[in-house]
Amino acid sequence: MLKDLVLKNRSYRGFDEKFKVSAEILKDLVDVARLTASGANAQPLKYLLIADEEGVGKMNSLTRWGKMLKDVTLPHPGQFPTAYILIVVDTGICKDPNKADTDVGIAAQTILLTAVEKELGGCMIGNFDKELAAKTFLNKAEYVPVLAIAIGKPVETIKLVEVGEDGSTKYYRDETDTHYVPKRKLEDILI
Cα pseudo-dihedral 174, 69, 188, 98, rounded to 10: -150
- Determine if 181 is a binding residue for ligand FMN (CB under 6 A): yes
- Determine if 126 is a binding residue for ligand FMN (CB under 6 A): yes
Handedness of CA 75, 76, 77, 80 (dihedral sign): negative
- Rounded Cα distance between 109 and 117, Å, is 12
Three-class secondary structure of residue 135 per DSSP: helix
Report, in Å, the least distance between residue 182 CB and ligand FMN.
9
At 69, the amino acid letter reads: L
- Determine if 125 is a binding residue for ligand FMN (CB under 6 A): yes
Site string for ligand FMN, 130-159 (x = CB under 6 A): ----------------------------x-
Binding segment for ligand FMN (CB under 6 A), chosen from 17-25, 58-66, 79-87, 114-122, is: 58-66
Cβ atoms of 39 and 105 closer than 8 Å: no
Backbone φ and ψ for 89, nearest 5 degrees, come out as: -95, 130
- Determine if 33 is a binding residue for ligand FMN (CB under 6 A): no
Residues 1-20 that bind ligand FMN (CB under 6 A): 10-11, 13
Residue from 65, 84, 137, 143 in contact with ligand FMN (CB under 6 A): 65
- Rounded Cα distance between 114 and 112, Å, is 5
Cβ atoms of 73 and 2 closer than 8 Å: no
- Determine if 124 is a binding residue for ligand FMN (CB under 6 A): yes
Report, in Å, the least distance between residue 127 CB and ligand FMN.
3
Site string for ligand FMN, 69-98 (x = CB under 6 A): ------------------------------
Three-class secondary structure of residue 45 per DSSP: strand
- Determine if 127 is a binding residue for ligand FMN (CB under 6 A): yes
Residues 6+ apart with CB under 8 A from 170: 68, 182
Nearer to ligand FMN, 113 or 124 (CB): 124
Residues that bind ligand FMN in the complex, under the rule CB under 6 A: 10-11, 13, 64-66, 123-127, 158, 171, 181
